[in-house]
Structure 1
């Protein structure tokens, strides 16, 4: 497995990119690009969850599914996922595709996303990341 040899080095790379993606989400949100902001929220959470798996010497694979990653963390690492964290992740999941593809919602993502949706997804994102940081201590 590719993460067996230097898991801390790989973990740091994935966490650093997760933090960069969160910063990007915040900048996009501040500039009214809510559809793009929520996508980067998903990216941030996805990479942070993968970082946790890598730190635990587990290969997260190529999945983009936050649900699958949470399940892997629970089953493979023995870390319990709280209902609040699972609920927050579930609030983010639909935006992975909905925020990017007009055929998913039959509308332009740039037109259907607004500040309230952006703030809701940002709060959910930060809730999952906060839990993750506590799990790493």
Structure 2
């Protein structure tokens, strides 16, 4: 697959995943919804990486590493938020109990923040 198609692939996946996150969160499936929030950010980061670096995206789920390799300078609030998302992606992949439980209000705020950060990253495409 050529690089332009790769950018489109990751971009479309990110759009689908943010929609899925919203559906899951609306149905009170908070950990699953947050996992998809992570996926939405991971995939848009990979789209930006392919666009800016002209090579296929690394096979990694680490939002910090993907941001750094794509040359994206993260503000402190986004770094903090990525830490939260990374917690949920680990919880979604491995059967370890989460040390932190977030409220319904916080989860909806995280969904909004995911949409905001995703839109910011999308402007880099």
TM-score range, shorter chain: 0.7 to 0.9
Distance across 2 between alignment mates of 1:101 and 1:121: 21
Distance across 1 between alignment mates of 2:12 and 2:88: 22
Which ranges in structure 2 are unaligned for 5 or more consecutive residues? none
- Scaled by the length of structure 1, what TM-score is found? 0.77
**C-alpha displacement of 1:84:** 3.4
Which residue does the alignment assign to 2:33?
Answer: 37
**C-alpha displacement of 1:102:** 4.1
- Scaled by the length of structure 2, what TM-score is found? 0.83
Higher alpha-carbon Rg: 1
Which residue does the alignment assign to 1:135?
Answer: 124
Distance across 2 between alignment mates of 1:113 and 1:86: 18
Q: Flag the 1:121–1:101 CA change in 2: closer, same or farther, 3 A.
A: farther
Distance across 2 between alignment mates of 1:120 and 1:105: 19
Distance across 1 between alignment mates of 2:74 and 2:5: 25
Equivalent position to 1:66, from 63, 78, 83: 63
Does 1:81 find its partner at 2:74? yes
Does 1:52 find its partner at 2:48? yes
Which ranges in structure 1 are unaligned for 5 or more consecutive residues? none
Which residue does the alignment assign to 2:90?
Answer: 97
RMSD value, Cα: 2.3
Contact 2:42 2:63 in 1 (8 A): yes
Matches for 1:8-27 after TM superposition, within 5 Å: 8-27=4-23
Contact 1:29 1:37 in 2 (8 A): yes
- Secondary structure of 2:61's partner? coil
**C-alpha displacement of 1:36:** 0.6
